[in-house]
Amino acid sequence: MSINPNVVIYRKQTIDSFSKSSAKKTVYYVDENFTLEDIILLNKLAVKYEEEKWLRISSRFYDKTGKRLTPQEAKKRLEQT
């Protein structure tokens, strides 16, 4: 399967915590090193990593303190700063 090297993939993400509805587009380019499938896989891995990161943080917090904290609570608390 040959993919046009001019294909662009867009993904929305928040610019910063000060802006409520702002979003920026990240542009992924398909080139001779990365196929469309490669780029999609990289994006999925990054999303999965971000989700698992907060689970690991909340688990470690429990291991160290004995206090339960959901991944969402950990993320909310740490992203306030």
Residue 14 lies in a domain: yes
Task: Tell me the torsion sign for CA atoms 12, 18, 21, 73.
Answer: positive
Phi-psi label, residue 69: left if phi above 0, alpha if psi -120 to 50, beta otherwise:
beta
Range of the domain at 35: 8-79
Instruction: Dig out the tokens for 6 from the structure.
Output: 């001019």
Residue 12 lies in a domain: yes
pLDDT for 35: 87
pLDDT for 12: 43
Q: What pLDDT, in 10s, does the model give residues 3-46?
A: 444 445 544 444 444 445 555 666 777 888 888 899 889 889 98
Distance of CA 48 to the CA centre of its chain: 7
- DSSP H helices in 1-81: 36-65, 71-79
Number of domains in the chain: 1
pLDDT at 69 over 90: yes
Question: Which range has the top average pLDDT, 12-21, 42-51, 61-70?
Answer: 61-70
pLDDT for 54: 93
pLDDT for 22: 53
Residue with the larger pLDDT of the pair 18 and 79: 79
